[in-house]
Amino acid sequence: MHEFYIPKSSDSRVDPRVGSVSGCDGRQRCRESHATVAAVTTPADTPSALQDWAHWLGRRETRHDTVTAAPLAGLAATLDRDDPPPGPGTEVPPLGHWLYTLPVAPQHDLGDDGHPRRGGFLPPVPLPRRMWAGGRLRLERPLRVGDAITRHSCITRVDAKTGRSGPLVFVTVRHEFSTAAGLALTEEHDIVYREAPRADAPAPAPQPAPAGAGFSRRIVPDPVLLFRYSALTFNGHRIHYDRPYCQQQEGYPGLVVHGPLIATLLVDLLRRERPGLQLRRFDFTAVRPTFDIHPFSVHGRDDGDGRFELWAQDHEGWLTMRAEAETA
């Protein structure tokens, strides 16, 4: 799942304090905590250029925005939902916070892949592939149209490793979203940086999807769906809409379905099947990329006590994303 940036009308402030600055430890607010964050770890054989990220640990950023109705209407249309038009006070659906408080990159700051150039809040890791590996969300109260929101973000983990495909760097960012009513949600966002796989490298062994789904939905990820989600989120990453670039430069067989879109479709499936429930926790992990050349499907199973297992699988039945949800 690839990292996405959504330029939007919002303002930000990067806290220049780094290194020993902590926060985001789950016990206090990002802007005021003084607990120690996770340490940088690097194996002995990791290139030195990838080990020099200790001063990014604890780096903070604050962004402000106002929840508006138009992005929510666009998201509902993209998901093929027949929701009433959002207006003042309308609740933002789970994962709809991804439409707000997001980075704004001017055109001259974009790289060849459509991403903002490296550096800034996130460490400038010199590896070409950047992927959204997963996340963990805790929802305290819903955001609503009209809310003024503040997002405090903090880098809590930088971990360099060497895997079978070469060097890897894992970065975890903790976000806390607040309104005048208090803390609304927390999110831990896992990002992985890696080398592009060699043409002769063996593909990772796929994982079979779980059996026994209680409810499912088939998704046709055509270029229009991907374009609409990219446009809705102002995501410039070319792997989602530029097929020649995607195939010739990145080596993918087709356009890549946004990881956040798949996660949103999983939550949307749960909302369709259990419309009266309130999501309290959502943990998800990307397992395998999904492309627009075949349909895929999203599935769920009620495990009791308000807990649900959710997953996405490709047309061959291989697992592409797994998730757990807790509801009230």
Domain 1-202 annotated CATH 3.10.129.10: yes
For the ranges 132-136, 204-208, 294-298, the one whose mean pLDDT is highest: 294-298
**pLDDT at 40 (0 to 100):** 55
As annotated, the residues of the chain forming the CATH 3.10.129.10 domain(s) are: 1-202, 204-328
Distance of CA 62 to the CA centre of its chain: 18
- Whether 298 has a pLDDT exceeding 70, the answer reads yes
* CATH number for the domain running over 204-328: 3.10.129.10
CA angle 39, 41, 42 (to 5 degrees): 160
Query: b or e along 129-153 (b: 16 or more beta carbons within 10 Å of the residue's beta carbon)?
Result: bbbbbbbbbbbeebbbbebebbbbb
Lowest mean pLDDT segment, chosen from 41-55, 125-139, 299-313: 41-55
Position 3 confidence tier, pLDDT thresholds 50, 70, 90: very low
Report d(CA 15, CA 22) in Å as an integer: 11
pLDDT over 50 (residue 32) = no
Q: Is the pLDDT of residue 185 over 50?
A: yes
How would residue 47 be classed by pLDDT, with cut points 50, 70 and 90?
Answer: low
φ, ψ of residue 245 in degrees (nearest 5)? -65, -45
Please give the model's pTM, rounded to 2 decimal places: 0.86
User: So what's the pLDDT on residue 75?
Assistant: 98
Radius of gyration of the chain, Cα coordinates, nearest whole angstrom: 19
Stretch among 60-64, 129-133, 289-293 having the lowest mean pLDDT: 129-133
